[in-house]
Amino acid sequence: MQKLVKNAVLLSAALLAAPPVQGETPYYGKSYTQPEQVRHLFPEIEVKDKTPAFLRDGDGFNSQEEMMSYIQHSKLKVLTCLLKQSEHIRRQ
């Protein structure tokens, strides 16, 4: 039992003495670019389905309300397409 307590105390002391690790994580309002050495591994892609954030210039973020509206509109488009396909199949 003493060994367990001693190990717990040593571990606690080591954790308290260690410097905090804090990485730089991009978030809203910050930008991040790939380092030159790996940039060729991550080519720019063309965004075909434009979410609200990609429809305007700027930072590429949208609100939850914008995204929910977009999802509902997309859902209606998909349902309409499925309905048209099923009508076409029934006519055959």
Per-residue model confidence as pLDDT tens digits over 4-38: 777 776 767 666 676 665 556 556 666 777 888 99
Please count the structural domains in the chain. 1
Domain presence at residue 70: yes
Cβ atoms of residues 62 and 52 within 8 Å: yes
Q: Is residue 22, in this structure, part of any structural domain at all?
A: no
Report the pLDDT value the prediction gives residue 24, as an integer from 0 to 100: 60
Counted residue by residue, the chain has a size of: 92
Q: Among residues 51, 52, 32, which one has the least CA distance to residue 42?
A: 32
Residue 19 has what pLDDT? 66
Q: Is residue 86 part of a domain?
A: yes
**87 within some domain:** yes
State residue 22's pLDDT score. 56
Give per-residue pLDDT as tens, 37-92. 998 888 887 777 777 877 777 666 788 898 899 899 989 988 898 888 888 888 87
Is residue 29 a part of any domain in this protein?
A: no
Asked if the structure places residue 78 within a domain, the reply is yes
Which pLDDT score, from 0 to 100, does residue 14 have? 67
- Domain encompassing residue 89: 49-92
Residue 63's pLDDT is 85
Q: Tell whether 92 is covered by a domain.
A: yes
pTM over 0.75: no
